[in-house]
Amino acid sequence: METKKYKIGTLCVQAGYRPANGQPRVMPIVQSTTFKYETSEQMARLFDLEESGYFYSRLQNPTCDNVAAKIAALEGGVGAILTSSGQAASFYAVLNICSAGDHIVSATNIYGGTFNLFGVTLRKMGIEVTFVDPDASDDEIKAAFRPETKALFGETLSNPGVAVLDIERFARLAHSHGVPLIVDNTFATPVNCRPIEWGADIVTHSTTKYMDGHATAVGGAIVDSGNFDWEAHADKFPGLTTPDESYHGLTYTKAFGRMAYITKATAQLMRDLGSSQSPQNAFLLNLGLETLHLRVPRHCENAQRVAEYLAARTDKVAWVHYCGLPGDKYYELGRKYLPGGSCGVLSFGLKGGREVAIRFMDSLRLAAIVTHVADARTCVLHPASHTHRQLSDEQLSEAGSAPDLIRFSAGIEDADDIIADIEQALAAE
Ligand code: PLP
């Protein structure tokens, strides 16, 4: 499919799987771990990466590849892979270009799981991270870079604070230090923002969220823009620009050009570490993707209505963060990067703080308390008590998640009903 020719809605429905004459109209689930070949010579060529083809679903599977191709088309990348979770996507996106002794710079207000992955687990592996306030000045962010820095990382819309990342500025900062910008685009989705168009080099997703959209399958994706010139910074990225002994001395940049990064992620990381997505989950993800362009605007409309309602309830509500609200700190950045709407998630605090937040949430009837977000059903979470429970109040504030913060994920129900539910829960206070 000539993906550049089509608009986002068409790509959501039709990119990826393209049946040939007489093949199933609906993308089949290739529920097979392995693939058969006539000769051992043929199989050997696949193992040497001399030919492309399937041999084992830990590395590649046709169902997963079709869905990855759809996500690559949606983001405007040259290639993508699916991973077993968003966490695996963030991990591999970094590990693909970092090893012990290396360093990354990351926005501090990222999802708590990613914050831990970077600050604790990567550190244990010898990869250091410096967290920076994404709204700090250029000079402050530049000061975080070191000679061994290999990437800059941020979220288009931070979870849970829904701060908008100045992607163009972050791309400039990364590129002026000869490293790629990795952007987690989970909350915005390519329907609302395509970070590659603003200079991001690698895009990651927790497909568990809006892309699936129905809370059925945990998954992730990594998209390669193909734009970063690894050879121009060859000394920084030897894993891509020098021979890989585990592939008979093949050099990814020479063998795969603009597909070097994403090919290495499959050939090396999936081979050695697994974390592939199951074909069943990829099938469910694809069903979600087929309606992504219809659901996302509804999520945004509902969140906007909820944000406006909460902002007007100054008797009970202490603050609301939603970049669609005029006067919000991120309103202007939102207009630049997310002109069609941001996402269904907003955050707010109630007068009375943490205790009142917990009581309010317990009084909701339609909105469910779940460890999830970006679902068709409205849901709510108190990060300080749930996802970010392991963080101190100080770390919570650094991560853009104040102790009283309620993360509200507007679903695609009728906005009137969502608001009525909030109203009755506020009245119960
Ligand atoms: N990135 C963001 C922005 C998230 O919100 C999440 C999960 O909430 C993740 C990554 C991790 O994704 P997963 O839960 O699919 O592992």
* Cα dist from 310 to 162, 345, 349, whole Å: 16, 13, 10
pLDDT tens, position by position, 301-357: 999 999 999 999 999 999 999 999 999 999 999 999 999 999 999 999 999 988 899
Number of domains in the chain: 2
Together in a domain, 163 and 95: yes
CB of 111 within 6 A of ligand 1: the answer is yes
* Same structural domain, 211 and 327: no
The predicted structure's pLDDT at residue 402: 85
Domain assignment of residue 261, yes or no: yes
Q: Is 277 in the pocket of ligand 1 (CB under 6 A)?
A: no
Ligand 1: distance of its center to the CA of 294 in Å? Answer: 22
Q: Which of 236, 256, 288 is the last residue of a domain?
A: 288
d(CA 69, CA 81): 8
Question: Same domain for 241 and 380?
Answer: no
Specify if 213 maps to a domain: yes
Structure tokens at 357: 């937040």
Q: Cα separation of 166 and 135, whole Å? A: 8
User: Are both 83 and 211 inside the same structural domain?
Assistant: yes
Put the strands of the sheet holding 220-224 in their side by side order: 79-83, 220-224, 202-206, 181-184, 149-155, 103-107, 128-132
Please check whether residues 269 and 302 belong to one and the same domain.
no
Q: In this structure, what CATH number is given to the domain that contains residue 160?
A: 3.40.640.10
Ligand 1 atom nearest 110 alpha carbon: 3
Residue 323: inside a domain: yes
221 touches ligand 1 (CB under 6 Å): no
Which residues are registered as beta bridge partners of 182?
153, 202
- Predicted pLDDT of residue 206: 98
What is the per-residue pLDDT for 397? 77
Task: Tell me how far apart the alpha carbons of residues 406 and 161 are, in angstroms, rounded to a whole number.
Answer: 9
Residues 223, 170 share a domain: yes
User: pLDDT value at position 384?
Assistant: 86
Q: Which of 288, 310, 329 is the last residue of a domain?
A: 288
Q: Give the global pTM.
A: 0.97
CA distance 261 to 240: 7
Kindly state whether residue 2 falls inside one of the protein's structural domains. Answer: no
Tell me whether residue 197 is exposed, middle or buried, using C-beta atoms within 10 angstroms of its C-beta: 0 to 12, 13 to 18, 19 or more.
middle
**CB of residue 153 inside a 6 A radius of ligand 1:** no
Cβ(165)–Cβ(156) below 8 Å: yes
Calpha distance 333→287 (Å, rounded): 31
Query: Is there a single domain that holds both residue 216 and residue 75?
Result: yes
189, 258: one domain: yes
**Residues 299, 275: one domain?**
no
Q: Which of 246, 269, 288 is the last residue of a domain?
A: 288
Q: The domain containing residue 306 runs over which residues?
A: 293-428
Ligand 1 proximity of 86 Cβ (cutoff 6 Å):
yes
Residues 96 and 214 in one domain: yes
At residue 17, the pLDDT reads 98
**Residue ranges of the chain with per-residue pLDDT less than 50:** none
* Binding site membership of 401 for ligand 1 (Cβ less than 6 Å): no
What is the predicted pLDDT for the residue at 146? Answer: 98
Residue 398 lies in a domain: yes
Q: Is residue 76 part of a domain?
A: yes
| Residue 156 beta carbon below 6 angstroms from any ligand 1 atom | no
pLDDT digits (tens, 9 = 90+) for 121-167: 999 999 999 999 999 999 999 999 999 999 999 999 999 999 999 99
Domain CATH code at residue 407 = 3.90.1150.10
Residue nearest to atom 6 of ligand 1 (CA): 206
Residues 231 and 315 in one domain: no
**Is the residue at 6 inside a domain?**
no
Peptide bond connecting 339 to the previous residue in cis, omega within 30 degrees of 0:
no
280 shares its domain with 311: no
On whether residue 256 sits in a domain, the answer given is yes
Cα 86 to middle of ligand 1, angstroms: 5
